[in-house]
């Protein structure tokens, strides 16, 4: 059921893009924040992680992509909250969450998610993530198998070689980066520190993730590797490799869709 609901929600997002250009070349608006959610902060690993909860049923955690925030999940929250308890999270340093001097790393960000689950007394949850969020989902499945149910991983890479060269030159990505800088200034507890945040997280993107076959074969959770057929950032053969290497993994390619506006390559060359 969760697979069908997520697929429907992603299609809703795609259908909202105008036909002024090809769908995969047009940046849709960030969804408006979902009303009626219960929100709070979890003090974990030296920072305060923002979360929001809506709906009732089995728990599903939604993890956004790099530089963005949990507001991007608005359409999916509405689609899922009728049957699930939906938890959206702003990753450390993103959105409303704080950061500290600790180096960014996917292990640390996965630990943050477990800290949120501990705060909410949720023993186990399904994970839906895109880009950085999808990588965190795989990290959770790898290192916290008892806490991780099914994982819907949209456009993850498991090594830096999975990212297309010169992705930062894509104009849709450029528009996304400009927008996330403005969103950071509006939401962040350190609104003037976007450049410092980007510099800090870029060190992670330059070298992580860096998983090999043996790492991926440790995953026992059911995994669906997903991407758009016009993804600007992740190589198709890399995704096919990931899906073929993880036990119980499937592969789903969505038509007329892209990476859904995340960014994971070093950003020293760009600034909003």
Q: What is the pLDDT of residues 1-52, one digit of tens each?
A: 544 444 444 443 433 333 446 777 788 889 988 888 999 999 999 999 999 9
Rounded Cα–Cα distance for residues 138 and 229 (Å): 21
For residue 49, the surrounding DSSP H or E stretch is strand 47-54
Structure tokens belonging to residue 51? 């979360």
Number of other CB atoms surrounding residue 170 within 10 Å: 17
Q: Is the pLDDT assigned to residue 270 strictly greater than 50?
A: no
Say what the pLDDT of residue 168 is. Answer: 76
Q: What is the mean pLDDT of residues 138-165?
A: 97
State whether residue 7 is helix, strand or coil: helix
Backbone angles phi, psi at 16, to 5 degrees: -80, -10
* Burial environment of residue 50 by CB neighbours within 10 A (0 to 12, 13 to 18, 19 or more): buried
* The domain made up of 2-254 is a member of CATH 3.40.190.10: no
Tell whether pTM > 0.75: yes
Q: Are 137 and 211 in contact (CB under 8 A)?
A: no
Domain boundaries of the chain, sorted by first residue: 2-254
């Amino acid at each position: 059921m969760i697979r069908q609901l997520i697929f429907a929600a992603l299609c809703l997002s795609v259908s909202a893009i105008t036909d002024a250009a090809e769908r995969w070349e047009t940046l849709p608006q960030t969804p408006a924040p979902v009303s009626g959610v219960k929100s709070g902060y979890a003090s974990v690993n030296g920072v305060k992680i923002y979360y929001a909860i809506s709906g009732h049923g089995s728990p599903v955690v939604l993890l956004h992509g790099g530089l963005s925030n949990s507001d991007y999940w608005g359409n999916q929250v509405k689609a899922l909250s009728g049957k699930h308890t939906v938890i959206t999270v702003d990753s450390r340093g993103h959105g409303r969450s704080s950061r500290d001097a600790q180096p960014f790393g996917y292990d640390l960000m996965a630990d943050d998610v477990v800290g949120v689950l501990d705060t909410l007394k949720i023993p186990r949850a399904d994970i839906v993530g895109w880009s950085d969020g999808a990588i965190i989902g795989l990290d959770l499945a790898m290192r916290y198998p008892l806490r991780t149910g099914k994982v819907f991983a949209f456009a993850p890479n498991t090594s830096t070689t999975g990212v297309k060269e010169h992705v930062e030159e894509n104009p849709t990505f450029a528009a996304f980066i400009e927008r996330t800088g403005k969103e950071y200034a509006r939401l962040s507890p350190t609104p003037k520190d976007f450049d410092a945040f980007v510099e800090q997280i870029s060190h992670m993107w330059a070298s992580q993730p860096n998983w090999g076959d043996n790492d991926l074969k440790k995953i026992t959770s059911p995994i669906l590797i997903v991407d758009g057929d016009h993804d600007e950032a992740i190589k198709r053969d890399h995704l096919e490799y990931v899906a073929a290497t993880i036990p119980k993994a499937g592969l789903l390619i969505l038509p007329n869709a892209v990476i859904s506006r995340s960014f994971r390559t070093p950003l020293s060359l760009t600034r909003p």
